[in-house]
A and B are shown apart, each in its own frame.
Chain A
Amino acid sequence: DTAVSQTPKYLVTQMGNDKSIKCEQNLGHDTMYWYKQDSKKFLKIMFSYNNKELIINETVPNRFSPKSPDKAHLNLHINSLELGDSAVYFCASSPTPGSSEKLFFGSGTQLSVL
């Protein structure tokens, strides 16, 4: 069983479309994250949720809306996609926010906006 799973693995779409990326973790963790890795390979945190509540929003455009229906799921919905949104998006989870415990990452969703 994959600990943190994301779908889809690849997403190719046109500018202006709306798309969603789903993430699920089966580790029983309280905290989930979305990270973005751009073409220069820098990994930047976008959002963090603890037990379905938003705790970090790193000045991400409001076209990006995370939704956490329960603490095992954190989905990312993106409206009006732009060329600059092309990147690899990683979901992650950890036991508790602010602890020194490790993060578990999914294998990523490569988003290409044409």
Chain B
Amino acid sequence: DAKTTQPNSMESNEEEPVHLPCNHSTISGTDYIHWYRQLPSQGPEYVIHGLTSNVNNRMASLAIAEDRKSSTLILHRATLRDAAVYYCILHLYGAQKLVFGQGTRLTINP
């Protein structure tokens, strides 16, 4: 399974943008980049995914490096409810599972 590397923890302030980095230098051409988050005492929740181009949705934006060896999840205006563990996952198209890493624990200060 292709591996991702994320910082263990990050901290930000409410109403400020947050940039969560992910390195995936062993990514292959058919790997999709997925982001999930897990709020306290809840199951993981899908955030966003992409292949090559940057992606936006109502929750976040995903910026993918041109060589695809890294990506950044962008929360445009963090709220206290965004405090969670964020997982960056490579999902091989055709593979039948998601392999979670350790994730980044995001703390939001009021």
- Residues of chain A touching chain B, judged by Cβ–Cβ distance below 8 Å, are 4, 31, 33, 35, 41-45, 48, 50, 55-56, 58, 90, 92, 97-100, 102-108
CB-CB < 8 A to B96: which residues of A?
Answer: 31, 48, 50, 55-56, 97-98
Shortest C-beta distance, B33 to chain A (Å), equals 10
CB-CB < 8 A to B93: which residues of A?
Answer: 98-100
Rounded to whole angstroms, the CA-CA distance of A33 and B103 in the bound complex is 20
Contacts A33-B97, A98-B93 given; does A90 touch B44 at CB 8 Å: yes
Task: State which size class the interface on B falls in.
Answer: 20 to 34
Pick from B85, B94, B96 the residue with the most CB of A within 10 Å.
B96
- Residues of chain B touching chain A, judged by Cβ–Cβ distance below 8 Å, are 32, 34, 36, 41-46, 49, 51, 85, 87, 91, 93-100, 102-103
Rounded to whole angstroms, the CA-CA distance of A107 and B32 in the bound complex is 25
In chain B, what residue has the closest Cβ to A31? Answer: B96
In chain B, what residue has the closest Cβ to A100? Answer: B32
In chain A, what residue has the closest Cβ to B33? Answer: A100
B49 touching A103 by the CB < 8 A rule? no
CB-CB < 8 A to B42: which residues of A?
Answer: 107-108
Contact for A108 among B32, B43, B87, B99, CB less than 8 A: B43
Contact for B100 among A43, A97, A98, A104, CB less than 8 A: A43
In chain A, what residue has the closest Cβ to B87? Answer: A43
CB-CB < 8 A to A35: which residues of B?
Answer: 100
Rounded to whole angstroms, the CA-CA distance of A55 and B95 in the bound complex is 11
Rounded to whole angstroms, the CA-CA distance of A45 and B97 in the bound complex is 7
Shortest C-beta distance, B26 to chain A (Å), equals 18
A105 touching B94 by the CB < 8 A rule? no
- 19 contacts across the A-B interface (CB closer than 8 A): A43-B44, A43-B87, A45-B97, A48-B96, A56-B97, A90-B43, A90-B44, A92-B44, A98-B94, A98-B95, A98-B96, A103-B98, A104-B46, A105-B43, A105-B45, A106-B43, A107-B41, A107-B42, A108-B43
Contact for A45 among B45, B46, B51, B98, CB less than 8 A: B98
